[in-house]
Chain A
């Protein structure tokens, strides 16, 4: 089964962008959907979007369209999630999680990446 390791915590200024990585071990992402989920401090989980096995096809939640960009490296071992024009409301823990295609559930999850937005 694939295991996921995310990049470390980031501190960014308002207006900047942040790019979080999610690296697979034990398999590649060419066999999985890769979802991203946001959790603001003290808040619930919010589904952001998904990268499909093609490495090109994506789908974003309406709230994140134009705000978030998903990409993948050519080896299919790392997926990236970039959040642009950071605002204080974007401060959160961001998780990646995999889905075996057409199964509808997320497992496993990465450990999460804390993004702090501060001037």
Chain B
């Protein structure tokens, strides 16, 4: 199963909004609502920020939101803050008890 496609990098100024795309196929992103997003800071373990396409775990800022259209899921970070810098990965159920991650996106706050 091929990795989901994400842009290598996205940047924005503090206070702006950015959107990260995650493109898969009808076998993964397009066919299931088990799409989640993970934030990873350097040297740290990933942390979930969105699950089930649009839901936020308890404790995650409401500046993070998710959506999906067809085979592409998106993560939007609004009111960008310095602490949002890091790598972001989407993940989708791919059927047959398999999961697939995205290629990862480095977010920079200018």
Contact = CB atoms under 8 A, between A and B. Distances in A.
Interface string B48-68: 100110000100000000000
Nearest to A52: B97
Sort chain A's interface into a size bin.
20 to 34
B46 A47 contact: no
B101 A104 contact: no
Contact of A95 (B45, B52, B91, B104): B45
Sort chain B's interface into a size bin.
20 to 34
Interface stretch (A9-17, A66-74, A79-87, A108-116): A108-116
Contact of A62 (B1, B38, B45, B46): B1
Interface in A77-119: 95, 97, 103-107, 109-112
A23 interface: no
Interface of B: 1, 3, 32-36, 38, 40, 45-48, 51-52, 57, 87, 89, 91, 93, 96-104
16 contacts: A37-B46, A44-B102, A45-B89, A45-B104, A59-B96, A61-B1, A61-B98, A103-B34, A103-B52, A104-B32, A104-B33, A104-B34, A104-B35, A104-B51, A106-B38, A112-B45
